Amino acid sequence: MSDDVVTKTTISADLAGRLIAAAVAHAEGMGKAFTIAIVDESGVLKALHRMDGAALVAVQISQDKAYTAVGFGMPSHGWYDFIKDDGPLALGAPTGIDRLVVFGGGYPVVVDGAVVGGIGVSGGHYSEDQEVAEAGLAILG
C-alpha cells in the first residue's frame, strides 16, 4: 500500500440500521417521536430515520449532533464543559464553527477503538435525546 493512500475504517450500512432500530425501539417505549441520524467517519450522512410526528427541525439538529460527535470524537454534550469557562471560546465556538451543537444527543460510534461514525438524536429535551442515542449505542456492548 502506498503512503499516498489512506484507508479509513467506517460504519457499515448494516450497523447504521441496527443502531437506528435500537434507538427507535427505545423511543417508542418512551412514547415520543425523534429523528435519529447516523453519519460515517467523515460526518457524511449514512442513515436517517424520522419517526412519525418528529419535528421538522429535528432532522437537521440530529445530523448536526452526529457531525459534532464524530468531528471531535466526543459527545456533543461534552462541549458545554469544554467551553463554559473560556469566554472567547464560549462566545465564538457555537456561532463560529458550522454545525457545532453543544448540548446532548450526539455520540461518536466507536468500534474496536476506532471512531467509525456518529449518532445524533433530536426530538425531545436533550437529556431524552441522549437516552435514545445511548439505547442505540447499547447494541455495541
132, pLDDT greater than 70: yes
pLDDT score, position 1: 63
Q: Locate 24 and state its grid cell.
A: 427507535
CATH (domain of 111): 3.30.450.150
pTM: 0.93
Does 35 reside within a domain? yes
Q: Locate 7 and state its grid cell.
A: 484507508
pLDDT score, position 91: 82
pLDDT score, position 83: 84
Does 77 reside within a domain? yes
Strand order in the sheet with 45-50: 45-50, 35-40, 114-122, 106-111
Neighbours of 35 (CB within 10 A): 27
Does 135 reside within a domain? yes
How many structural domains does the chain have? 1
Inter-residue contact 22 to 49 (CB < 8 Å): no
Predicted confidence band at 40 (pLDDT cuts at 50, 70, 90)? Answer: very high
Does 3 reside within a domain? no
Does 50 reside within a domain? yes
Does 6 reside within a domain? no
Burial class (CB in 10 A: 0-12, 13-18, 19+), 123: buried
% of residues, the chain, pLDDT over 70? 99
Does 5 reside within a domain? no
**With b meaning 16 or more CB within 10 Å and e meaning fewer, what string describes 58-73?**
bbebbbbbbbbbbbbe
Mean pLDDT, residues 30-53: 98
68, pLDDT greater than 80: yes
What are the tens digits of pLDDT across the range 87-120?
888 888 877 788 999 999 999 999 999 999 999 9
Does 88 reside within a domain? yes
The residue with greater pLDDT, 92 or 44, is 44
Predicted confidence band at 82 (pLDDT cuts at 50, 70, 90)? Answer: confident
2-6, 40-44, 81-85: which is most confident: 40-44
Largest CA distance in the chain: 52
Domain of 110 in residue numbering reads as 13-140
Torsion angles phi and psi, residue 42, rounded to 5: -100, 0
Work out the mean pLDDT of the chain and round it to a whole number. Answer: 95
